[in-house]
Amino acid sequence: MKDSAEKDSTSSKGILDRFGKWTGSLSNGFAWVALIAVIFMVLFSTIDLLAHKIAPTVWTFGGAMEITGILGLVMVIFAIPLTQLMNMHTAVDFLTNYLSKRVNRILAIIISFLSAGLFAVGAWQMFKYGQVTQAGGNATPLVHIPQAPFAYAGAVCFFLECLVLLVTMANLVKRGTEK
């Protein structure tokens, strides 16, 4: 009887570990998209600025700010999951320093659960917004870049963040049950 309980516990740990590695790999791939967006944003802004200084009458591209803004959006939304996994979000923890490790872990579980719910709702709303913008044919004013793909990308990134938070929460719970 004990062996089957150990086997169930081991297989659930394996599933959680594999799912955690999968979300980590996906988050890492998304971070590469964010990095590429930063590189293009810097290159595009630099080229636009230099062209305006060198030949202001020749270079008249009115959509530079739109493209830079879209690249900034891509950078932010695709970096969110890996930032969470690496625990690099800004945290205000001056009160939690005075609490016990057990209370901090319980607070972290509650915060992860609530944050996962928030990002799940955010993913759902971004998906709905993508449907609305796609149906309406919404695009940027100057360059006419469709907005729907970016809303759908935001929905996917928010959903991945939700999964990352759930894995974080499950690992915190697992750590508390292990003695």
34 alpha-carbon distance from chain centroid: 10
State pTM to two decimals.
0.84
The pLDDT, as a whole number, for residue 87 is 84
Q: In which domain, by residue range, is 100 found?
A: 2-177
- Count of domains observed in the chain: 1
pLDDT digits (tens, 9 = 90+) for 54-70: 887 776 677 888 999 99
Tens-level pLDDT at each residue, the chain (179 residues): 445 544 544 555 688 889 989 999 999 999 999 999 999 999 988 888 888 888 877 766 778 889 999 999 999 999 999 999 998 877 777 788 888 888 889 999 999 999 999 999 999 999 999 999 999 999 999 899 999 999 999 999 999 999 999 999 999 998 876 64
The pLDDT, as a whole number, for residue 78 is 97
